[in-house]
């Protein structure tokens, strides 16, 4: 049912647009809307287009990959979220 899916699609659209525009300073929401036609991309296509650096299943995986890339894999570290 299309009406059932609309809020879910809207959620993923907003999440994608916010994530890209917050983490890619040159890709504002205006640029994304005008350049891409405001489309949401599957992770492999988003990576191919340069909207994401890597495809990771969870935030924990992303943090682990960052720790490894930073040489902290076998070191104790703490993740702090600022709001």
Q: What is the pTM of this model?
A: 0.50
CA distance 32 to 75: 38
Q: What pLDDT digit, counting tens, does each position of 11-36 carry?
A: 988 888 888 888 888 888 888 888 76
What contacts 24+ positions apart, CB below 8 Å, involve 68-71?
A: none
- Reading the block at residue 5, the tokens are 């899916």
- 30 by Cβ neighbours in 10 Å (0-12 / 13-18 / 19+) ranks as exposed
Q: What pLDDT digit, counting tens, does each position of 31-82 carry?
A: 888 876 767 778 898 888 887 888 888 888 888 888 888 888 778 888 888 7
């Amino acid at each position: 049912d299309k009406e059932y899916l609309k809020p879910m699609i809207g959620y993923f659209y907003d999440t994608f647009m916010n994530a890209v525009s917050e983490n890619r300073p040159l890709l504002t929401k205006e640029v994304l809307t005008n350049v891409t036609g405001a489309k949401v991309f599957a992770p492999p296509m988003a990576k191919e287009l340069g909207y994401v650096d890597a495809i990771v299943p969870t935030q924990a995986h992303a943090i682990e990959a960052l720790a490894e890339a930073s040489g902290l894999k076998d070191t104790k570290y703490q993740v702090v979220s600022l709001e």
